């Protein structure tokens, strides 16, 4: 099959979260199965040079607003997948992040930037059909790409099948009604049956309404978003779409995330040769200025520091585990109040708590390897990748039972010693603290902890199964398309 993935980020070119990992890892897995995959994403500043991309074709002025665009092509990585960078310097070549400036304010023209991405995707898909080259499926990810499914549905005739994946329902891409003419939406789009969502236009909703198949990134999250509590206003629509909505568990890129070959570690290790983990642990303590104790359990967190991620629950549990002699490591950035709370804890416990603010890919690898237990105490979590990275690095995770965390981590107490981590139920400091203390109990029992690590490292999280499910979904969506007159 020929598949066009449309997304606002993909490693190694641009990453702010799990979306970037997933787009690339899924593309690689599909290529391995024999499919032809192209990822279309914006040419943010520096990406053309980093990718070594060369001009491929012109797109004219897709939105008709004087924003000429063209596509440059390069290999995405060494997998055989291709990246198409959408160049429109007026919209994408600027300092700061993909969605906002350095101060964290969204770009005021995000409605145009991501309408252009979506419209370019639709234009490419339809042109390829006209040229007989035929893209079979356009797979759009999150609100930034969602309009691609709408443009294709609005323009109809000869379109390929569409799949839309929700990586986080809370990012709804909402804009005032007034932007609709500028993005070329037909007047019928302003309707509760289309883009209208509580008085605004939601790009996310475009994908939920128009894609032939809608997926989200874990089976449990797929159930949660169909309830009034988890659906934040979209649950009725999601229930109405019935069997077209599926939960497909994300995998991880097991080549990038492999302690046996990770260039960030000086001594590689795996379940059969765990000595390198002790080295990684001591090196991390040295690097972060932590006391060089071997008996203190080290808890790690690598996360956006936001309410969603339950960082306040984790900080609430910190005094109890520090009283037990634990050490804490946090890498992340996000809401100023939570950043400050982390920094204050580090100031209060020198040598025991280390906090690094910001985004640091290499340090994140060293934390997955160099800590003993890993926290993902999210209030909600569509899938979550870090608990899977932690397991692969022999660092049992402590997670809340929600979304993909519920689908990937087994509680070691609840399974009478057959688990891969620790799971708590309620989003409260008490429940989180209890799980952290239970984890310390396991850490202090060397035989139990070693067995827990082995089970965690033995779990398979690669993309093989899920890429197969996506492929079946693509075929299903394409078959549906053929039935439409
Ligand atoms: P989300 O996409 O909601 O942020 P995920 O767990 O799906 O959560 O993915 C987060 C990704 O971003 C993981 O690959 C994680 O390792 C990475 N990450 C998060 N914060 C940082 C950070 N401060 N430095 C390096 N990597 C980070």
User: What stretch of H or E contains 404?
Assistant: helix 403-408
Mutate which of 16, 18, 377 for ligand 1? The one with the most ligand atoms within 8 Å of its CB, which is: 18
Question: 387 with 405: CB under 8 angstroms?
Answer: yes
In the numeric block, the tokens 């641009």 are attached to 14
- Number of continuous H segments (helices) and E segments (strands) in the chain: 17, 18
Residue 28, pLDDT score: 96
* pLDDT over 90 (residue 83): yes
Ligand 1 closest atom vs CA 309: 3
pLDDT at 157: 74
Query: Token pair for residue 192?
Result: 């509760």
Q: What does the pLDDT average to over 111-137?
A: 89
**Biggest alpha carbon distance in the chain?**
69
Does the Cβ of 331 fall within 6 Å of ligand 1? Answer: yes
Q: Are 2 and 136 in contact (CB under 8 A)?
A: yes
Any bridge partners for residue 329, and if so which? 300, 354
Instruction: Judge if the beta carbon of residue 304 lies within 6 A of ligand 1.
Output: yes
Residue 424, helix vs strand vs coil: strand
Rounded to the nearest 10 degrees, how much is the dihedral formed by the CA atoms of 303, 422, 396, 345? 50
Read off the pLDDT of each residue in 317-333 and give the average, rounded to a whole number: 98
Distances (CA, A) of 59 to 62, 123, 350: 7, 8, 56
The confidence score (pLDDT) of residue 362 equals 96
CATH fourth-level superfamily of 275-458 = Glycogen Phosphorylase B; (3.40.50.2000)
Ligand 1 within 6 A of 256 CB?
no
CA of 18 to the centre of ligand 1 (A): 6
Q: What does the pLDDT read at residue 103?
A: 87
DSSP 243: G
Ligand 1 atom 24: residue of nearest CA: 359
DSSP-assigned letter for residue 353 = E
d(CA 38, CA 138): 10
d(CA 374, CA 384): 13
Ligand 1 atom 4, closest CA: 17
Q: Where in the chain is the domain with CATH 3.40.50.2000?
A: 2-251+464-483, 275-458
- Which residue, judged by its Cα, is nearest atom 12 of ligand 1? 17
* Residue to substitute in 10, 25, 262, 302 for testing ligand 1 pocket (most ligand atoms within 8 angstroms of CB): 302
pLDDT of residue 188: 95
Give the confidence band of 482 by pLDDT, cuts at 50, 70, 90.
low
Closest residue CA from atom 16 of ligand 1: 386
| Band (483; pLDDT cuts 50, 70, 90) | low
pLDDT at 278 over 50: yes
Domain 2-251+464-483 class, CATH top level? alpha beta
pLDDT at residue 155 greater than cutoff 90: no
Q: Is the CB of 379 under 6 A from ligand 1?
A: no
Residue with the smallest CA separation from ligand 1 atom 26 is 361
Indicate whether residue 21 lines ligand 1 (CB < 6 A): yes
Q: What pLDDT sits at residue 485?
A: 41
Per-residue pLDDT, 138: 97
Question: What's the confidence (pLDDT) of residue 481?
Answer: 76
The secondary structure of 277-289 as a DSSP string is HHHHHHHHHHHHT
Distance of CA 303 from the midpoint of ligand 1 (Å)? 5
pLDDT digits (tens, 9 = 90+) for 375-431: 999 999 999 999 999 999 999 999 999 999 999 999 999 999 999 999 999 999 999
Rounded to the nearest 10 degrees, the angle between the axes of helix 203-210 and helix 110-130 is 30
Examine the pLDDT at 153 and tell me if it is beyond 80: yes
pLDDT digits (tens, 9 = 90+) for 219-243: 999 999 999 999 999 999 999 999 9
């Amino acid at each position: 099959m020929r598949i066009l993935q449309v997304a606002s980020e993909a490693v190694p070119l641009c990453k702010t979260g799990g979306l970037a990992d997933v787009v690339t890892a899924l593309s690689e897995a599909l290529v391995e199965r024999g499919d032809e995959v192209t990822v279309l994403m914006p040419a943010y500043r520096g990406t053309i040079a980093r990718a070594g991309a060369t001009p491929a074709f012109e797109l004219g002025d897709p939105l008709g607003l004087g924003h000429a665009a063209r596509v440059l092509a390069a290999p995405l990585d060494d997998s055989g997948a291709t990246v198409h960078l959408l160049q429109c310097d007026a919209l994408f070549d600027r300092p700061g992040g993909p969605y906002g400036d350095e101060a964290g304010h969204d770009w005021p023209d995000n409605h145009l930037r991501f309408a252009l991405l979506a419209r370019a995707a639709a234009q490419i898909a339809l042109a390829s059909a006209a040229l007989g080259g035929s893209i079979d499926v356009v797979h759009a990810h999150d609100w930034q790409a969602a309009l691609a499914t709408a443009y294709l549905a609005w323009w109809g005739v000869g379109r390929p099948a569409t799949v839309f994946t929700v990586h986080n329902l809370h990012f709804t891409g909402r804009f005032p009604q007034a932007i609709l003419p500028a993005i070329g939406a037909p007047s019928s789009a302003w309707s509760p049956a289309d883009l209208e969502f509580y008085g605004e236009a939601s790009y996310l909703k475009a994908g939920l309404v128009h894609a032939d198949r809608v997926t989200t990134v874990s089976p449990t999250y797929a159930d949660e978003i169909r309830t009034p509590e988890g659906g934040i206003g979209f649950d009725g629509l999601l229930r109405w779409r019935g069997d077209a909505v599926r939960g497909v568990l994300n995998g991880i890129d097991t080549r990038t995330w492999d302690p046996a070959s990770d260039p960030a570690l000086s001594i590689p290790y795996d379940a059969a040769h765990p000595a390198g983990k002790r080295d990684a642990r001591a090196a991390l303590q040295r690097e972060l200025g932590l006391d060089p104790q071997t008996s203190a359990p080290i808890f790690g967190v690598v996360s956006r520091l936001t309410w969603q991620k339950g960082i306040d629950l984790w900080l609430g549990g910190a005094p109890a585990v520090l009283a037990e002699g634990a050490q804490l490591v946090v890498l992340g950035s996000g809401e100023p109040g939570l950043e400050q709370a982390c920094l204050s804890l580090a100031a209060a416990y020198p040598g025991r708590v280390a906090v690094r603010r910001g985004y640091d890919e290499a340090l994140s690898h060293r934390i997955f390897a160099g800590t003993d237990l890993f926290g993902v105490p999210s209030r909600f979590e569509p899938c979550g990748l870090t608990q899977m990275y932690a397991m692969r690095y022999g660092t049992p995770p402590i997670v809340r039972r929600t979304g993909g965390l519920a689908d990937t981590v087994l509680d070691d107490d609840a399974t009478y010693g057959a688990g891969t981590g620790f799971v708590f139920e309620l989003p409260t400091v008490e429940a989180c603290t209890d799980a952290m203390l239970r984890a310390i109990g396991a850490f202090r029992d060397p035989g139990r902890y070693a067995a827990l690590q082995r089970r965690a490292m033995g779990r398979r999280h690669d993309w093989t199964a899920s890429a197969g499910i996506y492929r079946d979904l693509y075929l299903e969506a394409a078959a549906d398309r053929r039935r439409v007159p």
